[in-house]
Amino acid sequence: MKTFKKFEKILGVKFKNQDLLKSSVVHRSYLNEHKSFKLDHNERLEFLGDAVLELIVTDYLYNNYPNPEGELTNWRAALVNAKILADIAKSLEIEDYLYMSKGEAKDVNPKARNYILANAMEAVIGAIYLDQGYDMAKEFITNNVLDKLPNILENNLYLDPKSRFQEKSQEIFSVTPNYRVLKETGPDHNKYFKMGVYIKNEIVAEGKGTSKQEAQMDAAKEGLLAKGWE
Residues designated as active site: 50, 122
**Which residue type does 136 have?**
M
Distance of CA 154 to the CA centre of its chain: 19
Strand partners, 195: 181, 207
Alpha-carbon distances, residue 208 vs 163, 164, 195, 197, 217 (angstroms): 17, 18, 6, 11, 9
> Dihedral angle at the C-alpha atoms of 137, 139, 140, 146, nearest 10 degrees?
110
Burial class (CB in 10 A: 0-12, 13-18, 19+), 172: exposed
Q: d(Cα 71, Cα 166) in Å, to the nearest integer? A: 18
Helix (H) or strand (E) holding 195: strand 192-199
